[in-house]
Structure 1
Amino acid sequence: MKIIYILCFLSLSNVLIAQVAKEKYQFSKDINAAIEKDTLAWKYQLGAVEYATSGYYREALTTWDKNGGGFKKLSAKDSLYFKNFKPKSAKEYIIERSKAEQIIIINEAHHNARHRVFTTSLLRGLYENGYRFLGLEALSDTLINDRKFPTIKSGYYVKEPQMANLIRVALEMGFTLFEYEATDGKNGKEREIEQAENIKKIIDENPNSKFLIHCGYDHVIEGTPKIKRWEKAMAGRLKKITNRNPFTIDQVTYSEKSDLKFTNPIIELVNKATSVVLIDEKGSLFNGLADNDKVDCQIIHPITKYISYRPNWLLLDKERKKYTIPKSKINQYPALVLAFKYNEYEHQGIPVDVVEILNKEEIPKLMLPAGKYQILIKNKMYEIVSIYTLTIK
């Protein structure tokens, strides 16, 4: 399992050195060519993140899974344990439970934009329940609360549109954002300690407030982490040094892979169209197998369905609308289409959505919330061949 987490432990400087090209949003063929040429041991992790950044969800999953892995069949003991639970809407449960919590920690896989979209779907309900602070492992931007939108310089993972949308929506709602990543490229135990201490500082300054923390991978673990040398992960350390018990949510374990042979069988057993948590008759949450002490609960995300060549969850519970780029705007293929919030492009803003159009027969739709946009269309040489203004009502 160690290889799966290599990307988490790389310093930002190492990641930036390994970036494919100066273009932040790329055609799929160029990302693939860079992966094939790369000699780094973790090239598939880096490549998966590059695919995710430019909106290629399926390709991101496929590339990540080239690292190998998979799940064994459930044992009889595990199957019996699983049968004690019934599904409930994850969004509804978390928002209701948040009323009695002060700190919620939810994780993501850095190559899986679905996790960022799900966290975004929680924001309105959490804000209504008193949450006012959002801590982001990915954020590196001291001016974010004044500027009110993220830029290319706001953090390595922030340039991915769905992470930027998470930030943008939170700011529009009134959340105060804060960064908490460890400094100077710290890894391992030192990193977990400093992350927890940075979060504690914000909590101590706002002792009566409520906090949502969005982290990567195993930082969400309260109990025993897979990597023993950590001793405790960020969430477990935060719990100890604040003497406050966070509600910890894992999105990674029960998310789809590129192929069913890599996908946890519980996802198929649950077989729901929406993201769920599992609860038994005593009100206890399913958090994996019976002896798991790592987190409070694990979300089971369903297998993605596609609308207009795009993942259905991009519509964010119908808060976003589908938009078809007119064929008259495209005079050569392939084309890369980027939708920026109006006036953000000139200030190094991040697109709300990105799509690649390979030919005139298959045109994927942009998924956009209401607002005014600048639409940029680039040719295969990354030259802007068309730019126009659009209003989504």
Structure 2
Amino acid sequence: MKSLIICCLLLLTLIADHAPAGNPYYDFPETIIAHSQDNIKNGTLSQLLAICGYYRESMQYEDSLGAVKLSLASYKVTAAKPVIINEAGKYRFLLINEAHNRPQHRLFTKSLLKELYAKGYRVFMAEGIQQGNTLSAKGYPVSTDGRLLNEPNYASLLRYARKLGYKIYAYEYEPPKQTWDDSIKLDQYGSMKYLSYEPKDSMSVIRNKNGEITWLHYTSVREEQQAANIVKVMKENPGARFVIHVGYAHLQECCYMMTSQLKTLLNQEDVFTINQTNLDERRTILDTATGDIVSRPFFYLLKYKDQHKFYRNAEGGAVDLNVFNAQLKDSLNRPGYLWMDVEKRFPYYIPASQLKDGPCIYSAYDAAEYAAEGSNTIAKDVICVKNVNAAPPLLLYKGNYTIVKKMQDGSYSSFTANIP
């Protein structure tokens, strides 16, 4: 009997050791922070936390932003989406940006796609997609298609675009080498200039006395090549309209930024640019006429009451529209932005029998994708449960799921779920 028990224990140990693993991007917040200390100031840590769903934690590693002051008496509050859809019919290219640690920007772009498709938009391009990806071959994104895509809402954006009928392309410039040849220290605060001799390229990073990045300057190599890649895709799709989901200031229609380079290649054809990043939910919007803080229950624009023009924030650069991000309340201990998804989600509570080993990470994968890709699969949703008595639900679309559970010791187990 003792021998039988020992054999059973050994078998269970072997099964646990060989349990299918989850995507390694989905980890405990303290582990991500401990492994990413060198990435705090360049924004990568904030992005890694957002990938795993630690939205509030990710904001702790962002620079502080001053209040935006304006007089609401001069403006009319207008929902952003109807204006964007109406204006989009006038253009061949619609470009909208994101902050890489803001999943709600991906969901807002997602909310536009169906109506844009009806307007003739047929190609979707995104900065987060790497060249050489397998999206077309597999029909869904995988971890190696781009680091940012591991954030479940980014992958959801791509899956939804494909479901609507969009052709999906990468446009990112990937230099032949990934490191700089040389660097020059500019001051005692850690400001640096990085140099590449062949091809000629450089980047300057200016920091203040607190070590915070206050200015980034690139030469135009990346911007030019991104624009050239977009034009190449355009030539492959004559007659199409294009939705391009870009990062940060690449959106600007001035200086050497990508959109400016694109317009040059298009003989100054006008394009439609929408900035989501400079008026995010952390910014305080102060009404100078009343002294009140302006509420933001939805994504909106401010339109001048006596003109056909919209508010432009100088920090947003040369763009057509600046979107005021919604300040959404959390619900069921999940970020409020998840509830604005145009595809309906359903709360799924982890069974009590699966909560006993907490704290744990639970990542929910499409069952068919996980069977094919294993740990290279991108989850539909991820949660971290630290208090088993207040476990938040996964928010899942209809379908069959493999839910992978990661314990603090790094071991994995899995179980299945169905959302009918």
| TM bracket, shorter-chain basis | 0.7 to 0.9
Confirm or deny: 8 A CA contact 2:80 2:299 kept in the other structure: yes
How many Å separate the matches in 2 of 1:214 and 1:198?
14
Among 220, 225, 236, the alignment partner of 2:260 is 236
Report the alpha carbon displacement of residue 326 of structure 1 after superposing the two structures with TM: 1.8
Q: Does the Cα contact within 8 Å between 2:40 and 2:46 map onto a contact in 1?
A: no
Q: Which has the higher contact order (CA 8 A, sep 6+)?
A: 2
| Aligned with 2:238 (options 199, 202, 207) | 207
**Match for 1:104 among 80, 84, 94?**
94
User: C-alpha separation between the residues in 2 aligned to 1:73 and 1:85?
Assistant: 14
How far apart are residue 95 of structure 1 and its match? 1.9
Distance in 1 (CA, whole Å) between partners of 2:138 and 2:30 is 35
Equivalent residue, structure 2, for 1:294: 318
More deviation, 145-154/90-99: 90-99
Q: Which residue of 2 aligns with 1:260?
A: none
User: What is the alpha-carbon distance in structure 2 between the residues aligned to residue 339 and residue 365 of structure 1?
Assistant: 11
> Post-superposition shift, 1:266?
5.1
Correspondence for 1:58: 56
Pick one of 345, 348, 353 that aligns with 1:320. 345
Three-state SS of the structure 2 residue aligned to 1:279 is strand
> Of residues 385, 391, 405 in structure 2, which corresponds to 1:363?
391
Shift of 1:232: 2.0
Alignment match, 1:338? 363
- Tell me the residue number matched to 1:354: 382
Where does structure 1 lack aligned partners over 5 or more consecutive residues? Answer: 1-21, 224-230, 258-262
1:302 Cα offset (Å):
2.0
User: 1:71 and 2:77 equivalent?
Assistant: no
Q: Of 156, 160, 167, which residue of structure 2 is paired with 1:165?
A: 156
Counterpart in the other structure of 2:285: 265
The aligned amino acid for 1:310 is R
CA contact 2:67–2:286 (8 Å) conserved in 1: no
Match of 1:10 in 2: none
Secondary structure of 1:139 counterpart: coil
How many residues get paired? Answer: 347
* Percent of paired sites with the same residue: 29
**Larger CA Rg, structure 1 vs 2:** 2
- Structure 2 residue identity aligned to 1:360: V
Superposed counterparts of 1:158-197, under 5 Å: 158-184=149-175, 185=178, 188-197=219-228
Higher helix share: 1
User: In the superposition, relative to structure 1, how do residues 303 and 97 fare at CA in structure 2: closer, same or farther (>3 Å)?
Assistant: same
Q: Which structure has more strand as a fraction of its residues?
A: 2
Q: Deviations over 1:47-79 (max 9, x none)?
A: 111101111111111122xxx3321563xxxx3
Most deviating of 144-153 and 375-384: 375-384
Asked if structure 2 preserves the Cα contact closer than 8 Å seen for 1:334 and 1:380, the reply is: yes
Counterpart pick for 1:118 among 108, 111, 120 = 108
AA aligned to 2:150 is K
The alignment's TM-score, normalised by the length of structure 1, stands at 0.82
Rounded Cα–Cα distance in structure 1 between residues aligned with 2:392 and 2:123 = 35
State the distance in 1 between where 2:342 and 2:418 align: 20
Q: Does 1:306 align with 2:330?
A: yes
In structure 2, stretches of 5+ residues that fail to align are 1-22, 179-200, 202-217
How far the C-alpha of 1:353 sits from its partner, in A, is 0.6
TM-score when scaled to structure 2? 0.77
Amino acid at match of 2:331: I
